[in-house]
Copies of this chain bind each other. A is one copy, B any other.
Amino acid sequence: MRKFSSLLFLLFLSWTASAQQLNSPNGALQLNFELKDGVPFYDLKYKGIPVILPSKLGLKLKNHPDFTEGFVTSTAEQSDFDETWEPVWGEEKAIRNHYKEMAVTLHQDAAHEHRTLMIRFRLFDDGLGFRYEFPSQQGLAHFIVSDEKTQFAMTGDHTAFWIPGDYDTQEYDYVESKLSEIRGLMDAAITGNISQTSFSPTGVQTSLMLKTADGLYINLHEAALINYATMHLNLDDEKMIFESWLTPNPNGDKVYLQTPSVSPWRTIIVSDDAREILASRITYNLNEPNKIEDTSWIRPMKYIGVWWEMITGKSTWAYTDDFPAVELGVTDFSKASPNGKHGATTENVKRHIDFAAAHGFDGVLVEGWNEGWEDWFGNAKDYVFDFVTPYPDFDLAGVRDYARSKGVELIMHHETSSSVRNYERHMDQAYQFMKDNGYNAVKSGYVGTILPLGDNHYSQWQVNHYQYALEKAADYQIMINAHEAVRPTGIARTYPNLIANESARGTEYQAFGGSKPNHVTVLPFTRLIGGPMDYTPGIFEMDISKLNPDNNSWVNSTIANQLALYVTMYSPLQMAADLPEHYEKFMDAFQFIKDVALDWDESRYLEAEPGYYLTIARKAKGTNDWYLGNVNGNEGRASQLTFDFLDSNKTYVATLYEDQKDAHYRNNPQAYEIKKGTVTHKTKLSQYSAPGGGFAISIREANAEEIKGLKKLK
């Protein structure tokens, strides 16, 4: 008893000192932490301006006292960290990880069983990351998080670029609105998806991009989502306070944990310059370093595919219309009548291999090559694919050998139809099959509702699956490009074989009725904060009815905009998504796709305004070549560019791919012009982009011979 009293006394002393302050390395950001009446609060300021007002921290537990109140003491340890690390692939060759850290240890009172919770803050010059840590302690071995109660109290009715909160999909168009308008706009924002589960009229997803009336840019997301439920944000639109909203497991519990363990990091990137949001690397920095020793097999890839023709409805994944229901291993496809529209035929794939080889592409993705597409989704079908059995018209060995002879890699496709157990059952065999046949990368898919029905794409249970698939792929030296999986949170730092994700509304929606013209000016501020997206750009034919008379979709973009995406939508995996025959009509424009690099030594964010425009210049890995891309929103606009990122003593040859003056995403998208000229570090350029348009520039160091006869670019 005596010991207990003295403990209380000591801790009381430290409680009196429990208000803690932390400044970022350059002092721009200031974090305050405080215990008020037993409740932990934090707030954040940028250059003295409030970003996050005092906001509560904590979690509710099931069958245990909550971690939201009853804290009587806290101690804080501050430390510095500064390292520079080299990513296996990325927007630059070296990333600085520089922060001040404060680890706060909180003790609860007797009514809360004297539990201990830690909150670790890392304050960078461009943002804050913090997470909960659950140390090993008496009486708390395993526990269930029933709710996380992390608040992000806004300073006003900011403008947000948001998509509806959903446990199953991020495939929504972004809405730009005031926070106070979210509730009224929610219903219309929830457009149809094969699998979707919204939860609140003010629930939105991260990463969430915000802009204040004062011109502050704020981004809310999470980093290192491992063994935890995906976080959404629910807005109290009277108080303008966001609170974390975790995706439930099937029975409603949010997270199962044991001590010691940690939550993902909650991140707040902040700047008065939108370009710094794009340049921020705190999401990667808050992840663990690379765990894959030999990374020689992880290589950026540019690819084409047998895909867009199915997405538009020109051809089909399915081989036959004979079977309303397929039973793998029983249904005999060799006796079926082909439907005549099957995309993944040997002949068509070889044609794609030829095209890839002719134009220097690394790979060809083939979808619909394997049995099971006749009834592949919407049927709660467990054994939907086996991932190894080709249709009769796909000569697997022949195609494999042909690709090899042409120096082209095939990219595997594992659509799971969200029959996740079935995928795990076949995973070892499927990965081994890939290695046996020379496939080193796989596009995995999670279309449809998770089986067994009742679970969701973003639950802890499924998050653990995606991680399982990723780590097992690493064992097989396989690169993963996971579609419909949970959106990335920087895990590619730790497992760089995660070369891309979809996890947002990709180009396919341009064939499903169209996306907003400014969609691509938002994605880099939202979805791409966590990692690269397999956006599949490069559509040259915007009138989808020309591919499929029954599909009246229109691609809301110009060709110049499509080219720019290879620069603005950073990914080590880039597709040229349109059909070879469409590229063959515009080979001069196609040249940019052939030329553009996939991996970079340096990136410069020249202009940026979410929802409106974005201009990025990147220096290709190991070269002096630069590629520049601009994408534009709904209105025409002129960029004012300077090329001061170029070496001051060199002259470069630039090839500019621009919208013609009368180009327009809706009625004149193919109106582009190509100009060639010289540029130096002194070049200034006022460059027009059409509505839904953009421009792309390739810049390479030139010798005297090459620049002969070329004028300065203007």
Chain B hits for A324, CB < 8 A: 136, 141, 259
Report the Cα distance A144→B381, complex, angstroms. Answer: 10
Q: Does A645 contact B (CB under 8 A)?
A: no
Residue of B nearest to A227 (CB): B382
Chain B hits for A425, CB < 8 A: 424, 468
Q: Check B380–A144 contact: CB distance below 8 A.
A: yes
Looking at chain A's contact residues, the main secondary structure is loop
Query: Which residues between 613 and 647 of chain A lie within 8 Å of chain B, taking CB atoms?
Result: none
Q: Check A375–B250 contact: CB distance below 8 A.
A: no
Q: Which of A5-13, A83-91, A123-131, A449-457 contacts B (4 or more CB under 8 A)?
A: A449-457
Chain B hits for A382, CB < 8 A: 256, 464
Min C-beta distance of A262 to chain B, whole Å? 13
Q: Do A380 and B455 contact each other (CB < 8 Å), given the known contacts A136-B325, A424-B421? A: no
Q: Check B325–A256 contact: CB distance below 8 A.
A: no
Residue of B nearest to A420 (CB): B421
- Per-residue B-contact encoding for A326-355, CB less than 8 Å = 1, 0 else: 010000000000000000000000000000
Candidate in A258, A259, A425, A461 with the most chain B CB atoms within 10 angstroms: A258
Q: How many copies of this chain does the complex contain? A: 2
Q: Check A380–B424 contact: CB distance below 8 A.
A: no
- Per-residue B-contact encoding for A466-490, CB less than 8 Å = 1, 0 else: 0010000000000000000000000
Q: Does A251 contact B (CB under 8 A)?
A: yes
Report the Cα distance A468→B253, complex, angstroms. Answer: 28
Report the Cα distance A605→B424, complex, angstroms. Answer: 47
Chain B hits for A256, CB < 8 A: 379-382
Q: Does A428 contact B (CB under 8 A)?
A: yes
Min C-beta distance of A61 to chain B, whole Å? 13
Q: Does A196 contact B (CB under 8 A)?
A: no
- Per-residue B-contact encoding for A427-449, CB less than 8 Å = 1, 0 else: 01000000000000000000000
- Per-residue B-contact encoding for A245-261, CB less than 8 Å = 1, 0 else: 00001110100101100
Q: Does A3 contact B (CB under 8 A)?
A: no
Q: Check B379–A141 contact: CB distance below 8 A.
A: yes
Report the Cα distance A250→B459, complex, angstroms. Answer: 15
Q: Does A708 contact B (CB under 8 A)?
A: no
Q: How large is the interface on A (under 10, 10 to 19, 20 to 34, 35 or more residues)?
A: 20 to 34
Query: Which residues between 201 and 251 of chain A lie within 8 Å of chain B, taking CB atoms?
Result: 249-251
Please tell me which one of the listed residues B325, B424, B468 contacts residue A259 in the complex, with CB atoms under 8 A apart.
B325
Q: Check A250–B327 contact: CB distance below 8 A.
A: no
Chain B hits for A2, CB < 8 A: none
Report the Cα distance A341→B136, complex, angstroms. Answer: 24
Q: Check B258–A375 contact: CB distance below 8 A.
A: yes
Report the Cα distance A256→B383, complex, angstroms. Answer: 11
Report the Cα distance A424→B370, complex, angstroms. Answer: 24
Residue of B nearest to A449 (CB): B251
Report the Cα distance A142→B425, complex, angstroms. Answer: 22
Min C-beta distance of A493 to chain B, whole Å? 21
Report the Cα distance A324→B136, complex, angstroms. Answer: 9
Q: Do A142 and B379 contact each other (CB < 8 Å), given the known contacts A136-B324, A425-B468? A: yes
Report the Cα distance A79→B75, complex, angstroms. Answer: 83
Please tell me which one of the listed residues B141, B144, B452, B461 contacts residue A325 in the complex, with CB atoms under 8 A apart.
B141
Candidate in A452, A454, A461, A468 with the most chain B CB atoms within 10 angstroms: A452
Please tell me which one of the listed residues B144, B380, B428, B454 contacts residue A454 in the complex, with CB atoms under 8 A apart.
B454
Please tell me which one of the listed residues B250, B259, B381, B424 contacts residue A455 in the complex, with CB atoms under 8 A apart.
B250
Q: Check A142–B381 contact: CB distance below 8 A.
A: yes
Chain B hits for A325, CB < 8 A: 136, 141-142, 258-259
Chain B hits for A453, CB < 8 A: 249-251, 253
Report the Cα distance A452→B428, complex, angstroms. Answer: 22
Report the Cα distance A249→B251, complex, angstroms. Answer: 12
Given contacts A250-B250, A424-B424, 14 further A-B contacts (CB under 8 A): A141-B375, A141-B379, A142-B325, A142-B381, A144-B380, A249-B453, A249-B454, A250-B454, A250-B455, A256-B381, A259-B324, A421-B424, A428-B428, A454-B454
A-B pairs, 8 with minimum CB distance:
A141-B324, A250-B454, A142-B379, A251-B454, A258-B325, A141-B325, A251-B453, A256-B380
Task: Offer 29 A-B interface pairs, CB within 8 angstroms, sorted by A.
Answer: A136-B325, A141-B324, A141-B379, A142-B325, A142-B375, A142-B379, A249-B452, A249-B453, A249-B454, A250-B452, A250-B453, A250-B455, A251-B452, A251-B453, A251-B454, A253-B380, A256-B379, A256-B382, A258-B325, A258-B381, A259-B324, A259-B325, A382-B464, A421-B421, A421-B424, A424-B424, A428-B428, A452-B455, A452-B461
